[in-house]
């Protein structure tokens, strides 16, 4: 299953299970470690756990390898790493605290692109002066 197809299928699964404020972030042009972040909020610790379990169940059913899972003990933030898609299941207060949505927002991506351009320009100036 291609990464985009997997991400969209998981988005549907989380929506069916009443995940809140589901956001699919395409990081293909901005990240070397994954293609997509899928961020969702659960309404309680039990719901957070259930959403993460649904991701695991979907992966198993569709023969997608789960590379790792973190955060299952307190159910405030559970990360499920499927390689090309990383699912972040948050409790509302943890999602607000860590603000992944803002960290990987379009504004942040533009800021990172501007920094990359400045670094390239700086490198070009150094090469010209050598």
Task: Output the DSSP codes for 74-124.
Answer: T-SEEEEE-SSEEEEEEEHHHHHHH-HHHHTSHHHHHHHHHHHHHHHHHHH
Which residues, at least 6 apart from 24, have a Cβ–Cβ distance to it below 8 Å?
7, 8, 11, 36, 37, 38
Report pLDDT for 124.
64
Q: Which two structure tokens, joined as six digits, stand for 122? A: 């700086």
Rounded to an integer, what distance in angstroms lies between the CA atom of residue 65 and that of residue 60?
Answer: 7
Q: Which two structure tokens, joined as six digits, stand for 99? A: 């603000």
Q: State the average pLDDT over residues 79-89.
A: 96
104 and 78 share one domain: no
What is the CATH number for 64? 3.30.460.10
54 and 110 share one domain: no
Range of the domain at 56: 3-98
91 and 117 share one domain: no
90 and 26 share one domain: yes
Asked if pLDDT for residue 82 goes beyond 70, the answer is yes
99-125 pLDDT tens trace: 887 776 665 444 445 555 665 666 666
Does 57 or 111 have the greater pLDDT score? Answer: 57
- The number of distinct structural domains making up the chain is 2
């Amino acid at each position: 299953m291609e990464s985009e197809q997997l991400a969209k299928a998981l988005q549907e699964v989380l929506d069916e299970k009443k995940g809140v404020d589901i956001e699919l972030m395409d990081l293909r042009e901005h990240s070397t470690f994954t293609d997509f972040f899928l961020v969702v909020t659960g309404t309680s610790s039990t719901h957070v756990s259930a959403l993460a379990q649904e991701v695991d169940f979907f992966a198993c059913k569709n023969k997608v390898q789960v590379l790792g899972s973190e955060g299952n003990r307190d159910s405030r933030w559970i990360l499920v790493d499927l390689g090309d898609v990383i699912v972040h299941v948050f409790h509302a207060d943890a999602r607000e605290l860590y603000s992944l949505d803002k960290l990987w927002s379009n504004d942040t991506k533009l800021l990172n692109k501007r920094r990359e351009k400045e670094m390239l320009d700086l490198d070009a100036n150094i090469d010209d002066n050598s």
